[in-house]
Structure 1
Amino acid sequence: MESRMTLSSDDLQYHRRVLISAAVRAGYAHTCRYEEPAARREIARMTGVVMSVCGPGRGPNTPTTLIEALHHPLARIAPSLFSDSHMGSLTVLDAGELSDDVYAEGCEDIVELLSGGVDPARRWLPTWAWMHGEMVEREAFQLINEGASEQEYTAHRYFVVKQPAGGERQLAEVFSQAAGMRKSVRYVPIPADQVFRGKWWWPCPVCQWPMHVDGGEVRCRFPLHNAAYFVRADSAKGRPLLQRRDGGVPRQPAARPFHREGPNRSMCVETAVWRHIVISGVSEIYLFERLEALQPRGVEVELWPGKDRYDLLIRVPATSWELRIDVKDYASAVSLADRLRRKPPAARTIVIPDYRGEAQRDELAELLPNLTVLLVSEVVKAVKAELRKAGRR
């Protein structure tokens, strides 16, 4: 891979995203190779993409060797492409199935490998495997953006984050009451791998999206939500119960009945919407609600002003203090910094969830010296400090 060292930083990052995208697509195709006739052809096509990125004589050169390589960290395929990024530790396949890392991290670096509507795999590939996050968001809310007021847009987005799954009739009723609109993002039947014995499903206690079921294990596919359980018993009413995998004893989410048909059919937002809208929205709404609770003390806060021009506008009128923030939830600081350089944010303060940690905050601050980078908890502390200042006046 020595020849890759001559690539510019932008080209290096683009080649890395292409490799990750091809690996994710090939990995997904491998998982459905018996059901989807075009899957093996897709693996062959993605092998060609990987070979092109790696260069002559480097990297997997057959579909079989590519699939074998996807069971190991991607850095083994192209070490130089991942020399400045922890994304090289991404393992796409685990025992022949997609790893949770794909949902948690791989989705962040998806790019369109074939544009202009000529990608034949779009007929059967899930949108998250070929559509990057900004495109997912644009498509999801396209139906309501035209003609919707700012208040309607905020209500709709809030609804999607707070209600990513449920009974079809209940979702429609709640949406009509909460958002006051008829059009919503697309909800689909809960997939089979998120249903226990065809009868039950569990919402993640953090994001409320149906958790993945693997035999007697249940977990949210976003590992940082720290929601992983064993199915431990049937209650007297025949409802299965969960036990935390780490042995903790806090109350666990209750099983919900799965309805395959009828007005109460069990539905959820598509995986792409969950990954790119719901997960980030959880942190945005959490911070909004924390600050909204401080309104009696003199805080003003707006969520997604200007139809999501940025995420939060926070004011303390008594001191004329104001803060505009964008909440970002990325596994890779390098990938996030690259995206923010290519598309500078309207807000000059970037906020990351506490579970991303001080290390990522400091790394982003170094990569983005013209922006302020804070943890969610640091924003709350800053607002409370401003309120104390206002109280001393």
Structure 2
Amino acid sequence: MNTWPSPPSDELSERRRRVVTAALRAAYAWTVREARPKKAMHEIARMTGVIMEAQGPGRAPNTPLDLVRALRSPLSKLSIFADSDDPVGQLALLGVDNELTPDVQDLICEYVMPLNVLTDSGRWLPDWTRMRAEQIRHQVFTAMIAMKKQEVYVASRRLLIEHPAGTAGEIGELVSKAGIRVASGYQAVPSRQLHRTELEKAWWWPCPECRWPMMVSRGVVRCGYRPHSCVYEVTKVLSNGRPTLRRIDEGSGPRKTPVARKAQDAVCLNVGVWRFIVVPGASELRIYTQLQSLGAGVELWPGFDSYDLRVTAGDQKFTVDVKEYRSVHRLISDLKAKPPRARVLLPRTHEHQYEALRAALPSLSITTEKRFLMQVRRALGTSGRAK
């Protein structure tokens, strides 16, 4: 039986979030059941209990194997998501290959919350299956803030964002030369992000937007984060054994095709750090660079991340917090729980959330990347340089 230090919230949105978290933990446990049979099956049983508590008595799934079967169908099949318009309900967590679906890292992990179960023995689970985004960020940033120097904090954070993958030697040299503090989080590139040639050599490709190793499935290569929309297929292998890509999507993302890198000695940041630090950080740095090219003065993460950007344009000053959530439902909920210290800015990939956000939070100051760049140009007047 599961018990909590204090009774869990009975609010519907929180009960749904508990269900998503428990489903994710159970799905991950199922994928490692052969390597960790006892721990995995114990976790699935415990998460079945969490879902039963959240949904109420008499609601399926009632057994661990019932739950595993349910994880292969959209979450909307669970009674607690009846009449919900949240897009998370349209997603399944386990694929036909008994592996996690791409939607897990792309969207599901935004819903994760601590379950606060007294009997919790799930510390062996990856942090992104059991910790909120802000907890993961805090865990990583603590080491950066420890030196109490803003410039060290900015340099450390930029290193993670600009170098989320590489060889162990490359990463070590970058850290050493910069003399900065970076928390642990690099690991060998996961097998799902490797392509193996007939010569039994393994390769990986950096996403052209976030530089993290892209997912590889049946010859198709794409970033695990869907808004980074470039999709490729493996076409041929060069005489030196290096596989090449051809772009097959019709999106407007970066046109330069990534070059394959050898998997030997390659490392990348773990999923949680990538999803909640590198992904939004790539947008923050892109906007930072665009503002600088206009001639504005820009500071990154002032006051150890009080907000994301402090911008000076002529005699005007602006402060913005870039918010990059795949789920506008989660964004609205988190902004209600913790109002931002600066104007909310939606990056170009998320500008479609603008109207929904304004309707839900009419008192909040909100802008988009396009609108904000236009505002800065006007503030700079003739002094602003063309982008």
Could you say which residue in structure 2 is the equivalent of 1:331? 326
Task: Confirm or deny: 8 A CA contact 2:175 2:182 kept in the other structure.
Answer: no
Aligned-pair distance for 1:353? 1.9
Larger mean Cα displacement after TM superposition, 382-391 or 268-277: 382-391
Q: 1 CA distance for matches of 2:17 and 2:152?
A: 35
Task: Confirm or deny: 8 A CA contact 2:74 2:90 kept in the other structure.
Answer: yes
Task: Confirm or deny: 8 A CA contact 1:16 1:81 kept in the other structure.
Answer: no
Task: Confirm or deny: 8 A CA contact 2:136 2:272 kept in the other structure.
Answer: yes
Could you say which residue in structure 2 is the equivalent of 1:52? 53
**1:252 aligned to 246, 249, 257, which one?**
257
Poorly superposed stretches of 4+, deviation over 6 Å? none
Which amino acid in 2 is paired with 1:302? E
The 3 A distance-change label for structure 1 pair 373 and 199 is same
Instruction: Indicate yes or no: 2:136 matched with 1:136.
Output: yes
Which amino acid in 1 is paired with 2:115? L
Larger mean Cα displacement after TM superposition, 38-47 or 19-28: 38-47
Q: How many pairs align?
A: 368
Q: 1 CA distance for matches of 2:182 and 2:80?
A: 46
The 3 A distance-change label for structure 1 pair 293 and 136 is same
Larger mean Cα displacement after TM superposition, 104-113 or 79-88: 79-88
Aligned-pair distance for 1:182? 4.7
Aligned-pair distance for 1:147? 2.2
Instruction: Indicate yes or no: 2:337 matched with 1:342.
Output: yes
What TM-score, normalized to structure 2?
A: 0.89
Could you say which residue in structure 1 is the equivalent of 2:43? 42
Task: Confirm or deny: 8 A CA contact 2:16 2:80 kept in the other structure.
Answer: no
Task: Confirm or deny: 8 A CA contact 2:230 2:249 kept in the other structure.
Answer: no
Task: Confirm or deny: 8 A CA contact 1:15 1:81 kept in the other structure.
Answer: no
User: What does 1:95-244 correspond to in 2, within 5 Å?
Assistant: 95=96, 96-114=98-116, 118-123=119-124, 125-177=125-177, 179-197=178-196, 198-244=201-247
Q: 2 CA distance for matches of 1:10 and 1:328?
A: 28
Instruction: Indicate yes or no: 2:387 matched with 1:382.
Output: no
SS of corresponding position for 1:224? coil
Aligned-pair distance for 1:89? 1.6
Q: 1 CA distance for matches of 2:19 and 2:107?
A: 14
Once the two structures are superposed, what CA deviation does each residue of 1:365-386 show, in whole Å capped at 9, x if it has no partner?
Answer: 1111221222212211111122
Could you say which residue in structure 2 is the equivalent of 1:5? none
Q: 2 CA distance for matches of 1:176 and 1:294?
A: 33
Structure 1: which 5+ runs fail to align?
1-8, 260-264
Q: 2 CA distance for matches of 1:184 and 1:339?
A: 26
Task: Confirm or deny: 8 A CA contact 1:161 1:278 kept in the other structure.
Answer: yes
Task: Confirm or deny: 8 A CA contact 1:12 1:81 kept in the other structure.
Answer: no
Which amino acid in 2 is paired with 1:106? I
Could you say which residue in structure 1 is the equivalent of 2:4? none
Structure 2: which 5+ runs fail to align?
1-8
Q: 2 CA distance for matches of 1:294 and 1:185?
A: 36
Q: Calculate percent identity across the aligned residue pairs.
A: 38
Which amino acid in 2 is paired with 1:309? S
Once the two structures are superposed, what CA deviation does each residue of 1:319-376 show, in whole Å capped at 9, x if it has no partner?
Answer: x3221111111122121111112112111x1111222233x11111111122122221
Task: Confirm or deny: 8 A CA contact 1:219 1:228 kept in the other structure.
Answer: yes
Could you say which residue in structure 1 is the equivalent of 2:20? 20
Task: Confirm or deny: 8 A CA contact 2:152 2:181 kept in the other structure.
Answer: no
Which amino acid in 2 is paired with 1:108? E
SS of corresponding position for 1:325? strand
Which amino acid in 2 is paired with 1:253? P
Aligned-pair distance for 1:90? 2.4
Instruction: Indicate yes or no: 2:349 matched with 1:355.
Output: yes
